[in-house]
Structure 1
Amino acid sequence: MNAVISKENPINGDVLIIASEEKLTSLRMDLKADISLFLNAGISVAIALTAGPRSADASKIQDLIEYGLKVGCRFVGKGDAFLASSTFVYDTPNFLRNGVEVQFSTEQIAYLIEDIDWFRSDSGFGKVLDRSAAIATGSTIFLGSSNDDLKAIQIHAPNHRSALWNFLNSEDSVPITKVVRESKEFWLGSTFDDANRELGVELKKISKKISSSQDTHLVLRAALPSRLENPRDGKEVILGYPFVPLNKEQFIASLDVYILPLSGLKSNDWKSEISYCLNTGIPIYIPELLRPVVEERAHYFDGRITNELIDRILSPEQNSGADNLLEEKYRSSRMNNFRNLCDLLGFPLHSDAAEVLKNDESLPPILFNSTRINEMERKPKKVCFVTSNGAGMGHLTRLLAVARRLDSDVVASFISLSQACGVVSEYGFDFEYLPSKGDLRIEGPEWNKYFNRKFVEALNRARPDVVVFDGTWPYQGISLAVKSYEAEFVWMRRGMWRQEISSTSMVRNPNFSAVVAPGDVAEKYDKGATQRAIDAYEVEPIVVMDESELLTRAEARKELGIGLDANAMLITLGAGNINKIDDDVAEIIQEVRALKVPWEILMTSPLISNSDHHKSDVRSLSIYPLAKYAKAFDFVVSATGYNSYHEWLAYKVPTLWIPNLKTITDDQISRAMFAHDHGLGFAVAPESNMGISEAIKKLADRSIRDMIISKMNEYSFDNGAYKAAKYISTIAKER
């Protein structure tokens, strides 16, 4: 054992990576991608951070630690001893200056050299060799982050092995096949980061410039919607990048050109996006400072977005022969840095590794792209779920419940006016966000023109076999599409309309292929237009989660930080009249605090932000779906919107029902009164003759809660999402 390790029984591993905080933001390296390359090849990885002072912002370090632990890395530090086959030093000057706290020895060590002048100086090359002699039993390897740097290293250290190493490192892979779209639109893609405001400004410049071109789009793969659209200028940004890609690889493969503003270098994904573009042959426009790494395989600019630059990108001449030449330059000069280095280090990469990797769904998509493309070519039936922008998330949640239960060979996607539509991506669904007139702050006629055009554009990208709309009033654009677009249209139309709402909405939309009516436990109290309708396919009440999917009481309380034996209640009154909600919340909190035994009070975060009445004993919750944690609460105070009502009933949670009195269509009062009259909780409503104080005292009584739970069992129901999903899947397959 090398003398540098004084401890017995050191940890053994294939690769030790020594990184610094500074190199986590390097423009030439992608540490996470390198870690994945090693792990995917069956090479174990341990990580040590250089010693020395840390910056005040430790988020990059924390992000690396979370990523490393997730993918199976070991972190070593003070008190550890590590024996590595190979060690990679990502910040050579920092390592020589500060060292690391872990004791380690290695057979061979590779140093990344990004500052050639430093390497040539007295404090560079010689000190590297001195340090290597103390910790490495084998040879020293030097890594250049560009071909120019590599040549300089080879001249200065001709007797040492060297290799190229940068963010274009890759395992052998079949070149990604470019997706050929049926539309003739020009799609200009870019990186995106909601937290990068400077990038948002640059993207708006692009969007504004291309707004006059009716066949050009700026396309972003975003996890959440953002305010980048401006319908007054014509063409807008496509956000959420819907329908075509199953992953980032297919997003890139669908573009015509990719552009990276200088501000985009502060975001997270641009390195892998550039690599995908090069592997696919997508022309790229990137800042000049990346030329040393990407070389002559890209178009370069100073990083600023100008009208001249966009004109250059959109020029037909620019995107024909010139880009074919760039693609050929890439294909002919492409070096597989990772395989070359593994050969240099003596790590075997077997010929059958590609087949193993291709079938491993846990690996990055670039390693199994041919499988993904084949999936696309099978053209499964598609269902597009369309939601209006109601007072809460009810429409979106109800359709998500159905989408999760479609047949396995039917693909779902979403078009939504809800700013919360990004939640569907957590379940693997693509989405597109179209702002409502309230979000855009424009009048109805102007918004209708905007929506009519945007909705058809979105459908043309989705190419669905079935479109499912959930909302009370099908918008003008939806009504027009029902008559003209070649797909089956289904209306998900819940009941319990307020008595004063006319049936005009139903009468003027006879062209829907089918109507699905989610059941309502309170349907006996339904006084609205839908209770007389005979045109619907009826299903049981729909909830997003089956009871078997919920966390147990112990699990939910552990995640929420609630003691197992504590008394805990939740306030979740949803959207509505904010002043009325604030008054109710203040009284609820006051009454719970006045109970004889202490209670933990939790409240959904929108209410927290709207209320000044809470203090340190009221905790904020911001989780979706809230239903998953239902068993954590002894009782809840809830509005009586469709989803909340049926979730608390389905999961047997005693409830104080406070209806939203300001809904336009939904008869929440009747739902609340049905529950009150049938022992399914208590209602504070105009007809209940019960106040908040009395209801809270009753729900604090365990024996009364047990009686409510017993009554709820009598009204249990099967989840209608399954029947609705099967019905819609059948429509899609029979088309």
Structure 2
Amino acid sequence: MEFDVLYLADLRFPGGTSTSLKYDLRACKQAGLRAGILPLRSPLFSRNRILNASVLAEIRSTGTIIVPQNERPRARVALLYHPSLLDKRVHCRTRFDAQACYLVVHQTIRNRDGQRAFPSDHWSTLLTDWYGHALKLLPVSGIVREDLARNGLSHALHAGNWENLIDLADYPQKQFRNPKSPLIIGRHSRPSTDKWPSLPVATTCYPQSPDFAFRMMGVPQAFLDQFEDLPSNWQVLPFSKEPVSGFLQGLDIYSYFHSRALVEAFGYGVLEALATGLPCVLPPYMETSFSDACLYAEPDEAPRVYERLRSDPCLFETTSRKARGFVEERFGLDQFRAKFDKVADPSFTALPAPKKRRAAPAPVIMTVTSNGVGLGHLSRQLAIARAIGPRANVVFFSLSEAIEIARSMGYLAEFRPFRQRLELDFEAWNSYFFQEMREALSHYKPCLTLFDGNLPYAGFVDAVESYGQATSVWIRRGLWRTPQPNSISREGFFDAIIEPGELCAPLDEGHSRPNPNSVARVDPVLMTPRDQLFDRTTARRVLKLPEDAILCLVQLGSEANFDMSLPRARLLEFLDRHPDVIAVDVRSPLHFEEQADFHERLVMRKVYPLGQYLRAFDFAVCAAGYNTFHENIAAALPSIFIPNSNPIMDVQEARAEYGARAGWNLTASAEDPYAIGEQLVQMFDPDFRQSLTRSCLRKAGWWNGASQIAELLQAIAQLPANPLEDR
């Protein structure tokens, strides 16, 4: 792999660093240059902090390559894209060759109180020993350049800065209007306390006044807690409550003041406001970055500046136009080529061709599923394995009795029994599982382990930690019924926690997400993609079902922990009264018993995966488990959902009730025979079924969870790109 620019970057940064990277990738592509990314993990964040969604989207849209672990890329320029990444705690799993290598410094080494943000003493040694290059520094602004010089690093400074860029197309210029009272003055930042001034200073520069209204996005709760009563002219919004561009369009003036100790290295939020054409009021020291494009004042002087802008339309218009012009001239994407040429070796010659070597084998992913009472965990992992495709070899190491399904689909799979089958207590079983898991890890040598289950077993966690060579990811369904502190306490053992999406997410109490920054959410995960469903005729023929009958799908779960006998009895009564209906009781491979209910129009099928056959049916009577609920809604199959309300299960009642209120399905309690009977009669009406189908079809674009997880895994574990995606 050869690149013009290779970014060694942490894709988890939440603020200006990630925004800068996003626009660098876009500008690099527009300049006709090829960019690659080596993901690193800054010690500034917890191990399982989620990846920045906007950066991932930019990587996808620009076709930027994430370098796989088994590749050794070559580049004209390599950029360590934050000073915290040149740290003894940061491990780069992939070696690279580059003609030039720089550390891009996005932050001052010290704040105004003299406190160090980064241990810079070993920068030169680490860059030389680990990456084979002398220390060269690229500050993002003159402010950072001055700070580096004050800290004895003048000798390593490159002559130019690596200034942040912005795509002006993302920030339409606000149409000028004569400013009126109250002026709408705003600011936005990530919700960090250092981004805000002290309370007395804040009420000085953002004062209570009928002439001004302040809109603030990204205010930390610790700052708000200092107020007895929030000023009546303040409107406070959560971080990323709305797109930044839209937020800025609603302002007249942008005003940014922060804590006394902070030194703003650049001020990406200011750049966004200037691109929108907003007059900006800033502390005087930021003139180093923004020259005469802004107005500068001390906090107690800021209200007088606001008043000048309000009372002088000419000043307001001139300042607005100067703001936009300044960004166009200095920070547009077209500046990237010149920026790159300054740091690339002018005497560039092609790197010598690498020696031919045997193609590295595909990386191995080991997926571990809990036993469960059904097939939910195994089904999700199979869906993810399909989405990963040929980019990796997936090995199943499962506690599910149905593991033979994975083997039948061509995957290497091993089964290990859960503790009840071995008649062991938890401590003894975890010791057993640790030994089995550790041996499997040593044998298969995975680069990634996936765990799907409600509680990661101690034996699993200890084995992966002992192995130490695999990224670990927890696929964890939400909609928890109660808080589960034991589960939450094990988050720290994982590099990522991914929660498959729930259509009923607004009803989720959030017990699975006490720290939203540690849980990545994707679309619902479907075992069978919607475009792979058989049509009605084909599905009925494959299942050997009559083509002209009204078919009712029955799928009430394993019933291992919940009694569904009453719904079954009501269904049999319904069949007695409606001779045109045939009920098809679909059992999973885990269900070994013969058919318990007898009726001449009740037939049984053992089918897996069921999803591709759903169009065979006219309606369904099902439990409201995660997979069944989302597969049925995705297939627009009219359904009566009867929740399994066992306390150990997820909140199936919420899932079914939400769907009923949205018009996707009906729902009834397993203990309410009258509601079940009435709803079966409703389902016999074809017009009513059609109305449910239409409602379900409106949920388009919500079914890509498995592919989204595969994309996240590519970035988290440096998996190769899927070759099928390039066709």
Normalization by structure 1: what TM-score?
A: 0.47
Higher RCO (C-alpha under 8 Å, 6+ residues apart): 2
